[in-house]
Amino acid sequence: MRKYWLKYAKNGLLRFVGHLDILHTWERILRRARLPVSYSQGFSPHPLLSLAAPLPVGQTSEAEYLELVLDQDMDASQVLGLVAAALPPELSALDIEVVPERTKALTGMIRFADYLITLPVDADQQALQQRIEGFQQAESEFIEIERKRGIKQVDIKPLVKDLRLDGNQIYACLATGGEGNLRPGDLLRFLGLSEEQQNSSTVRRMELYLEQEGELIDPLGMCRRNLERG
């Protein structure tokens, strides 16, 4: 048994394919690649595959992570090559690392994500710039966020690690995962974009981060660092 983290990009029309369907798509991809995926034990065995963080329908990404377990110890670059040949054009395999089997599930470790948001041409860049500067100076910033159980007041200040405007693009590093989560849509609303403008913005996820020793690091970066340290 060997565990791998595989980094891939999700592009184009696949933004309309949801999280669970993508997971099933991966099952088929790995079967087409003839990789010996391990199965869980128990009454209804399922393949040992998981995705690091669900990507909402409508967003593309250049840093998705698949955690997979294979029955055989295969060379990481060989796995990457076999996967690449079985991928639909709008998914591309970017990188891979072997991780120690005892490593905790990647899903539970994701803390932040980088986003590149392209705004519609009618967005008022000057107003945005002011709003962002105001946010950076504020101690806290409460906004209303709609959750399953109703509307909640949330301080988004600790949920935003970085926020910059560059022309008609926003670069943002936002909390994601179970320990705090801010959706790009909620950020855009806070920044004063109309619903129409929010809908015509495109969101691309650029990277996912774990926390190690108080700093953010991407999953494969952490693998490699741990490897160097032995």
Partner 1 sequence: MREQIERVLPRVEKPARYLGNEWNAVHKDHDGLVTIGLAFPDVYEVAMSHLGLQILYHIANKRMDAVAERVFAPWIDMEAEMRRAGLPLFALESGKPVRDFDLLGFTLQYEMSYTNILNMLELAGIPLLASERTAEHPLVMAGGPCAYNPEPLADFLDFVVLGEAEESLEEVIQVCKGCKAAGASRKETLEALSRIAGVYVPAFYQVAYQDDGCIAAVEATQGAPASVRKRVVDFLKPEYYPTSPVVPYMGTVHDRLMLEIFRGCTRGCRFCQAGMIYRPVRERTREELLGLAQEALKASGHNEVSLMSLSTMDYSDLENLLGELLDKIGCEGVSVSLPSLRADSFSVELAKQVHAGKRSGLTLAPEAGSQRLRDVINKQVTEDDFLAAINGAQEAGWQSVKLYFMIGLPTENWDDIEGIYDLARKAVWPRARGSNEKKAMKVTVSTSSFVPKPWTPFQWDPQDSMHDLEKKQRHLRDLLYRERNITYKYHDADLSFLEAVFARGDRRLGTVLLRAHELGCKFDGWSEHFSYGRWMQAFADCETDPTFYANRERSRAEIMPWDHLSPGLEKDFLWKERELALAGAITPDCRLDHCPVCGACQHLPAQTRLAKE
Residue 79 touches partner 1, criterion: CB under 8 A = no
Residue 153: how many other CB atoms lie within 10 Å: 8
Number of residues that bind partner 1 (CB under 8 A): 28
Shortest Å distance, C-beta 17 to partner 1: 5
Span interacting with partner 1, options 81-89, 130-138, 172-180, 218-226, rule CB under 8 A: 81-89
Does 1 bind partner 1 (CB under 8 A)? Our answer is no
Given 86, 98, 143, 206, the residue binding partner 1 (CB under 8 A): 86
* Minimum distance, C-beta of residue 137 to partner 1, in the bound complex (Å): 34
Half-sphere exposure in the Cβ direction for 86 (13 Å, CA): 16
CA gap 220, 4 in Å, rounded: 10
Which one of 1, 57, 105, 227 is in contact with partner 1 (CB under 8 A)?
Answer: 57
Contact call for residue 72 and partner 1 (CB under 8 A): no
Taking the complex as a whole, the smallest distance from the CB of residue 114 to partner 1 amounts, in Å, to: 22
Among 1, 8, 19, 44, which residue sits at the site for partner 1 (rule: CB under 8 A)?
A: 44
Q: How far is the CB of 198 from partner 1 (least distance, A)?
A: 11
Q: Which of 9, 17, 132, 206 binds partner 1 (CB under 8 A)?
A: 17
82 lines the binding site for partner 1 (CB under 8 A): no
Number of C-alpha atoms within 13 angstroms, CB side, residue 163?
24
Using CB under 8 A, list all residues that contact partner 1.
Answer: 12-14, 16-18, 21-22, 24-25, 27-32, 34, 37, 39, 44, 47, 57-58, 86, 88-90, 199
